[in-house]
Amino acid sequence: MPQPTLSEVGTGTWAWVQPDGSWGLSNAGLVVDGDESLLVDTLFDLARTDAMLAAMRDAAPAAKAIDSLVNTHANGDHCWGNQRVAGAEIIASERGAAEMEELPPARLAKLMKAGRALNALGPLRRPLGALFGALGLSKGAALAEAAPFALRCFGEFEFDGIELCAPTRTFEGRLDLTVGDRTVELHELGPAHTRGDVVVHLPDESIVYTGDILFVNAHPIAWEGPVANWIAACDRILTWNPTTVVPGHGPITDRTAVQAVRDYWVWLSSGAKEAYDAGASAHQAALDLSKSGYGHWAEAERLVVNVATLYRQWDGSPVPDALHSFAAMARLGEAMRGH
């Protein structure tokens, strides 16, 4: 697999990009002016965060001591390396900071170990999962179903030893910062991908760090919604007419990728509403939609989460936990492969 790269995308402005941008392989950014520095996001584990910070320190002396860190949202691949810059002011939206507390790194480490144990059972995993379900142990059944898929997504990361380093400053709506003489705008555009999504806008450089409001060449995933907020977020970014856009996942791009994600959500909203009105399950709707439209985009399993999020907007059903969402994605992946 290609190695991560640090690219200077503007004067004193960098992007750390992890190919191929799939599950957990997120991007980050660095803004410096004089002796001051601001980091946009850390990474999923400590080793990857260490490698990124070493490259940034080589590129910019101001990065030797990060002054400020912005976490764009609560997913671990954008904040679980925070302890490596624990002396910095850590900034997030108020809702994003609250959401970070809900899945501590130690819990995911335990879930991954349990998933490996279940996966090692081979063909016995499915009947064990069925037994869990028959006994009313829905989380055990979901873990048994999700284990192979979750290990493909996250098996290369090391979660032991990570301590959640929470934000020290929160905001709602908008917060303007200065890095040296530069203005850095933080805009809370969620809930969409998560409850408190933030994008970082450098108006003088015409650069936007989008966090996971933008995935490039892959299906985005709306854990939270509503999808209308995501469309509105894309519209807001497009009004800035950025020259350079650093997505949460995928290669450095421009406004065309923002428009592409906006178009995706419009397409999916229409298709999902037709399926919902026809009485189709979220699984069946996602399977049907996977055969048209965006088949060239990666991570098509995310369609079932996105359709379910749209369905919740129409029927008021509760947000499922991540474990059951991964089980649903595992089922869709198998169905798409014809298993």
Structural domain boundaries of the chain?
5-102+161-252, 105-154, 263-337
Mean pLDDT throughout 158-171? 95
Mean pLDDT throughout 239-265? 98
CATH superfamily placement of domain 5-102+161-252: Ribonuclease Z/Hydroxyacylglutathione hydrolase-like (3.60.15.10)
Q: Where is pLDDT greater, at 117 or 172?
A: 172
Confidence of residue 131 (pLDDT cuts 50, 70, 90): very low
Using an 8 Å Cβ cutoff, are 72 and 197 in contact?
A: yes
Mean pLDDT throughout 45-55? 98
Distance between the two ends of the chain, CA-based, in angstroms?
28
Please tell me whether the peptide bond between 226 and the residue prior to it is cis, using omega within 30 degrees of 0. yes
Mean pLDDT throughout 320-338? 91
The predicted structure's pLDDT at residue 213: 98
**Separation of CA 200 from chain center:** 15
On the question of pLDDT at 132 being above 50, the answer is no
On the question of pLDDT at 339 being above 80, the answer is no
How confident is the prediction for the chain on average, in pLDDT? 93
Q: How far is CA 87 from CA 3, 203, 287, 330, in A?
A: 28, 27, 47, 40
Amino acid letter, residue 27 = N
Q: Is the pTM of this model over 0.85?
A: yes
Helices assigned H by DSSP within the chain: 46-59, 94-100, 105-119, 125-134, 138-154, 227-240, 255-277, 282-289, 303-315, 322-337
On the question of pLDDT at 133 being above 60, the answer is no
